[in-house]
Amino acid sequence: MCGRFDLHTPRGLIAETWFGLTKPVGEVHARYNTAPGQSITIISLKDDQVRFSFAHWGYKPAWAGEEAPKPINARAETVANSKYFTHAFHHRRCLIPADGWFEWMATDQGKQPYYITDPSNGRRDVLFFAGIYTGDIEPGMSAAILTEPAAPNLRHIHDRQPVVLDPECRWDWLNPEITERDQVRQVAKRLDPSRLNSWRVSPRMNKPDYNDPSIIEPMGN
């Protein structure tokens, strides 16, 4: 699953590095501990234009009733066939940039948080989660992150993880003209999981309001 993540790389840098955009895309303060229900950055493609938008992290389509759930994740195995998600999967895919994410390992002493990232990433690189969204106008947009079974090198922490895309497939994933399920699955190339590493971090990050660069530093033994 993915219940918390970190994005401290500036949106403008992501826009220029990966999409060739030099116009302002709206900057925000670094958020090292993004939690469900908060506003997150999503990247989508509409009318051949890349859009950097803010969306509520908790997906809810416009047709859903007042008491309908607002899931933060959608399972990659079933998203294409789920009534709740199918339209977005086929027509409203997005990228959700992150520097890394958090998972919790069950231990005898309680749940221990871990931070997962690509430690080889430099200032100009981020991870791209596969996402889906609904709505067209801020602040009425909402999104969910696709998840899948965890890679072997991460499975000891948690049995699921976000779908982390290879950035080379970013245009195909966003392309609204690719709508068939098999086509979408074929273009969704994963980042090599061997690039991902993990380390223990302070349980202080369990509090969503704890937002500090120290949150992603390895915890001492």
Which of 2, 67, 94, 180 is an active site residue? 2
Task: Exactly one of 16, 67, 94, 103 is catalytic; name it.
Answer: 103
The verdict on whether 103 is a catalytic residue reads yes
CB 188 within 8 A of CB 173: yes
Maximal CA-CA distance, the chain: 52
Beta-carbon-side half-sphere exposure of residue 168 (alpha carbons within 13 Å)? 4
Looking from the CA of 41 toward its CB, the CA atoms found within 13 Å total 29
Q: How many CB atoms lie within 10 A of CB 211?
A: 17
Are 162 and 151 a contacting pair, CB within 8 Å? Answer: no
Q: Is 94 a catalytic residue?
A: no
Positions marked catalytic: 2, 103
